[in-house]
Amino acid sequence: MKDGVYMIPAVHWERRLFDSLIPLPDGTSYNAYLVEGSEKTALIDTVDPMKAEFLMEQLKDVKRLDYIVANHAEQDHSGCISLVLEKYPEAKVFATPKAKPMLMDLLLIPEDKIITVEDGETLSLGDKTLRFIHAPWVHWPETMFTYLEEDKILFTCDFLGSHLATSEMYATDECRVYEAAKRYYSEIMMPFRTSIQKNLDKLKDLTIDIIAPSHGPAYNKPEFIINAYHSWVFDEPGNIAVIPFVSMHGSVKKMVEHLEGALKERGVIVKPFDLTVTDLGQLAMALVDAATVVIGTPAVLAGAHPDAIYATYLANALRPKAKFISIIGSYSWGSKAIDQLSGLLANLKAEVIPPVFIKGFPKEADFKALENLAETIAQKHRENNLK
Ligand code: FEO
């Protein structure tokens, strides 16, 4: 990347699921970085244990390693620390005070191997200096960034990264990287928006030539990803309604189609997601900008459909900036779906618009109720000047 600074990207082209939860349509990478100073050498983060062999092969000509920086304790970055320590028994691990017990618990790293660093503390490698910047809650409590002062490189680990397998060191195809980074933000970072705002503010005082995350390509035009994060984190939501729904016999589908048409007529952008075929990453990305979320469900076993429950739980956990929420659905003989779904939405600071929950296939009065719902949504978007 620069003299004495190397990216070690373990590209995982074929991985399709992360944390047994998150779809990876574009694969991912785990980037470690090697920084060689005139006196000391440091490895910044490691890689997922699934790529341990690759990492050790890359290190085979590195005779001496003095420091391992653990910006984050999650195993896709810290999981090879023990292996690296076996090869370099003299090396010490640098981490935040909160990361230390996590590294001991998760990876069984001996306590005396770990040195804790305070916010702003520096570590000299001779002609290169690492500065540690505490950045809690992106996306665990112990996270930090490492800033290489002389080369103006900021190593951010998960923050500003993307699940994108690529052989390019830098984000050259910005459209593709933007989509992958937004997907990553929506799935991993969005619940911690307030902390991200504070951590973005912390970067204002740094001169940054390169942002080097530990997933996806690095950024030699840092403003590209910083500006994208600013808009995702700080901007008002758009004039957009997201409708995650499930339909069993067509009634809810008909309701969604009618609501979709009524919203469009009123100038609202609509994004329906049939949950039986939805990539949850696409839904999460749509939630980044949506002002309104309307969940559609049929009644199953007197409650909501399990797919609708899952999507509602996820929307609540991701804490999007939606301002309005509602539920539509259909039942045959009875349902507690409204109570059930409402109870899952406690995290969303959204105004609840009265649901439209009907018996059987929608009829004239039901279509009218859906048009009224569309009108209420459009009016609230106008009142809030959402664009
Ligand atoms: Fe890429 Fe939080 O680990």
Strand 41-44 to strand 28-36: parallel, antiparallel, or no bridges (unpaired)?
A: antiparallel
The whole-number pLDDT of residue 144 equals: 98
At 346 the pLDDT is: 86
Is any ligand 1 atom within 6 A of the Cβ of residue 76?
A: yes
User: Which tokens go with 282?
Assistant: 């696409």
- Selection from 335, 379, 340 nearest residue 359 by Cα: 335
Tell me, in angstroms, the distance from the centre of ligand 1 to residue 69's CA: 15
Q: Model confidence over 23-61: pLDDT tens digits?
A: 999 999 999 999 999 999 999 999 999 999 999 999 999
**Ligand 1 and 215: CB distance under 6 A:** yes
| Average of per-residue pLDDT values in the chain | 96
Predicted structure pTM score: 0.95
Using the mean position of ligand 1's atoms as its centre, give its distance from the Cα of residue 50 in Å. Answer: 14
> What pLDDT band is residue 117 in, cutting at 50, 70 and 90?
very high
Going from the Cα of 78 to the center of ligand 1, the distance in angstroms, rounded, reads 9
* Centroid of ligand 1 to alpha carbon of 73 (angstroms): 8
Q: Are strands 292-300 and 324-331 parallel, antiparallel or unpaired?
A: parallel
| 67-84 confidence digits (pLDDT tens) | 999 999 999 999 999 999
Q: How confident is the model at residue 347 (pLDDT cuts 50, 70, 90)?
A: confident
Span 198-212, average pLDDT: 95
Please state the separation of Cα 283 from the chain's center in Å.
12
For residue 65, what pLDDT band results from cuts at 50, 70 and 90? Answer: very high
- Is the CB–ligand 1 distance for residue 142 below 6 Å? no
H helix runs in the chain, sequence order? 52-58, 75-78, 81-87, 99-107, 174-184, 193-203, 222-234, 251-265, 280-289, 306-318, 337-342, 364-383
pLDDT in tens, 144-178: 999 999 999 999 999 999 999 999 999 999 999 99
Q: What is d(CA 353, CA 291) in angstroms, rounded to the nearest whole number?
A: 13
Pocket flag, ligand 1, residue 77 (CB < 6 Å): yes
Counting atoms of ligand 1 from 1, which one is nearest the CA of 139? 2
Check the CA dihedral 4-224-95-7 and report its sign: negative
Q: Which of 108, 106, 116 has its CA nearest to residue 85?
A: 108
Instruction: Tell me, in angstroms, the distance from the centre of ligand 1 to residue 74's CA.
Output: 5
Ligand 1 center from residue 22 Cα (angstroms): 12
Taking alpha carbons only, the member of 243, 328, 238, 345 closest to residue 290 is: 238
Distance CA 106, CA 267 (A): 51
CA dist 216 and 27 (Å) reads 9
Atom of ligand 1 nearest to the CA of 188: 2
Instruction: Using the atom order of ligand 1, give the atom closest to the CA of residue 75.
Output: 3
163 CB near ligand 1 (under 6 Å): no
Cross-strand partners of 42: 35, 67
